[in-house]
Amino acid sequence: MEKTKTSKFNPTIQKLSEEISRHEDVLSSIMSLSCDEIVVVDLDFNIITRNFKIFDAKSDNVENFIELLEKRHLFESIETLKRYKKSRTNQTSFRLVLPEGKYIKANIIKRHSGRLHHGYLIVLNDYTEEIARLKDKECFIETLMHDLKTPARAEERALELLYNETLGTLNQPQKEMLKEILNSSRYMVRMTDNVLAKLRLETEGLILKKQLNSIKKSVESCVDDIKYMLETAQQTIKITTDTEDDTFVYDEETIKLVLNNLLTNASEYSPKNSTIYISIKRGTQNIIISIRDEGAGISDEKIQTLFNNPMAMNKRFKKVSSGLGLFITKKILEAHNGNITIAQNLTSGTEFIITLPFKKYITTEYSAPFS
């Protein structure tokens, strides 16, 4: 009985072995000619073979790819690999930023022989020079944005002094004219803030300087920032909260950018004499902030790609600030380990729901650049 079982099974094993051998011969040729580093690993990421085109053959000659990442303190990449291993996704890619300043793109794909999954193929591409060129270009843009932002903020402050009649009494037509100019100045400041945030995210990543802050005070500060828009549209904002303990750690500068983006959109796309509702709720492990307007709303099909494509809102509303603001908003919240969603099946208006982890300890965190 045992002999019969073995004879039936042996041809399958032989065929599989020959197929793997053919693949290994082709892979060996590719590895010798490629400028990329190619690493072949088993199911536990033990290294079977590699060609050392990027990592050092002496200092980085380890037996396991996870161990290599640990040695280089690339812990975020390790978590990415662990999630990928558990998923049904056939391939994925992620970025490695090495301590010596190299930028590496890692592409990983599952290796199969027939239906048998027996390991992974990792291709590491060094694109440090490409990043350097990109940084030069973006350094120019960032400098330009800073140069625009400084006079824009100075103009904003001067207009506020005039509008508040600190320097003298104004008649009503003068106040109306100043209000329009002030709104335009604030739009320019918001645009420069969003562009600078996007540049930093793409090249450097986002450093979050978290401190204990009151989210209610941050919300009230942002409402004060757009009060001139609200006055122009004769709109009202109502803030409700179900907790007195609204103090937790977050990076106030970036979260206020998130709130300003959402409140500005709510005001711009709502009719005159309407109300914008802000709710702050405390969960067991998070804070939930919702911003609901009485505008035209967003269709369910557009909601699916709203945060991923900066052009989605731009095309709809013909404003660059809309799509870019929502794109930056999502990235900032993800860096805080939070998220943003849009309430569906509303009879009217749009409601954005922000969730942030409620933590009391202070940390400085780094979010890796995104592709």
pTM here is 0.55
**Locate tokens 């320019």: which residue?**
188
| C-alpha closest to that of 234 among 273, 176, 179, 180 | 273
Q: What is the mean pLDDT of residues 253-268?
A: 91
pLDDT digits (tens, 9 = 90+) for 194-246: 777 776 676 666 778 889 999 999 999 999 888 878 887 889 999 999 988 89
Position 163 confidence tier, pLDDT thresholds 50, 70, 90: confident
Task: Report pLDDT for 176.
Answer: 80
pLDDT digits (tens, 9 = 90+) for 71-119: 888 888 888 888 888 888 888 888 888 878 888 888 898 888 777 888 8
